[in-house]
Chains A and B, each alone.
Chain A
Amino acid sequence: MIESTLGPETAVYSADVPAGDFWIHEIFRGQAFRIVDLEGNQAVDTLFYSLHDTSERYSATDTIVGQGNIYLTAGTTLRSNLGNAMLTIVADTCGRHDTLGGACAVESNQVRYAIEKRHMHACRNSFLLAVSDPNWHLDKRDLTANINFFMNVPVTPEGKLTFEDGISNPLKYVEMRAEMDVICVISNCPQLNNPCNAYNPTPIRVLIWN
């Protein structure tokens, strides 16, 4: 657990993102970027792209192999598919974050829960809507394995993987320093079928400091 010294009053940007909404925004090199789990146990599905060449993007495998550990926390370098540092996690009051669980999609909900669940809102729909804005020059091909901030997906030595109740609480946060200019895409997860957000999706706050 590492706390930040930055106070919200000096942030140059602050926004609340309701559950089920998306947020897409630039973060520039050297800026600090914080995500606050306002009510606790929320899952925040997050992708990063290089602002100047979006074919360079967050890579779950480069990130976990780079540090030899599957969990993300303070000290973790978030790496791109070219092996470059995109952001560094500089503060974390939650403890660990997932990057293997991916985003919920209406199709994966059908597989995981019931064919009839296709109508339920899912992160991938939020991502698809976010990247449909032509200003960002992104599309479905760009949706890769994401980070799930505040989500608890333990893996066992026997090779099992489970979705467990969250380990986050109200006002827990994670803060990153951008090592390059990036686009951040967030889906604030609407999942109602598993305990990734305690069956109760809640809002988050995003803040940026210069």
Chain B
Amino acid sequence: MSLWEDTIQGGASWSVILRRGNSLRLEDIEGGGNVGALFYNWDCMVERYNMPDTLKAQHIAHLTSGFVLYSDMGRVLASITADSCGWHDPLGGHNDAKAVAAKYGKSSYQQARNAWHRNTHDSFLVEAAQYGLSLRDIGPNVNFFSKVAVARSGAMEFVPGNSKAGDFVELRAEMNLLIILASGQHPLDPNPQYAPKPIRFSVGRATPAGPNDPCRLSRPENARGFINTERYFL
């Protein structure tokens, strides 16, 4: 059941406190969207999403259902409970004002009003500052709906068409989370036009991770990650 639904316009940002046991569903309304995402433990924000720990605990360089997002403290911040597109990118980071101006041309608010070219770095800073966080707190982010494949040589290749209109991903909060989202384009998206896509979000109640939860059972590491997380809430 959805408790709160709305749309993040293309290139805009949003942040939410998502309590343990609640869910966040993101939908790529038009297809080809991208959502940069950062996660913090709302109860102690020096604990936050850790890209390397998420990858190495699960031996992955992509995210999809059955995987979880780890903090730097060996706990599960969120589980990916459903995913219709199969690949979300943890490697590509986010663009900044210089990169956006170089790729899409300069576009100021004075000239273009709310159609101006925004960048994810500034969006993250604006959202983070609302909670007392700053540049120091912004590390590698998740890019939902984008796919970057890595060749044997290490070359990174953006794969267009990964997410179709209506594709969605569902997260279950395993801790009380601050989530910061920005719907700017992926840094490796080859599209030369500034065309960030709108994303629909929906907050709801999730079913808690039971003993047979697919995310808990997908890796022996995750079983231990859930133990660490559950001990945090004793």
Contacts and interface: CB of A to CB of B under 8 A. Distances in A.
B187 A60 contact: no
A136 to B, nearest CB: 13
Given A83-B96, A141-B46, A159-B60, A64 B53 contact: no
A111 B187 contact: no
B5 interface: no
B114 interface: no
Given A100-B91, A141-B136, A71 B154 contact: yes
B3 interface: no
Given A71-B154, A105-B53, A112-B56, A141 B137 contact: yes
Interface in A86-135: 96, 100-103, 105-108, 110-112, 114-115, 124
A155 B58 CA distance: 13
Contacts of B66: none
Interface string A19-62: 00000000000000000000000000000000000111101111
Interface residues of B, number: 49
A62 B93 contact: yes
Contacts of A146: 52
B103 to A, nearest CB: 12
B129 interface: no
The size bracket of the interface on A is 35 or more
Interface of A is mostly: loop
Given A142-B136, A159-B60, A159-B87, A69 B55 contact: no
A108 B57 contact: yes
B150 A115 contact: no
B75 A61 contact: no
B72 A157 contact: no
8 contacts: A61-B94, A68-B155, A108-B74, A112-B56, A141-B137, A155-B61, A156-B150, A159-B87
Interface of A: 54-57, 59-62, 64-65, 68-71, 81-83, 96, 100-103, 105-108, 110-112, 114-115, 124, 139-146, 153-157, 159-163
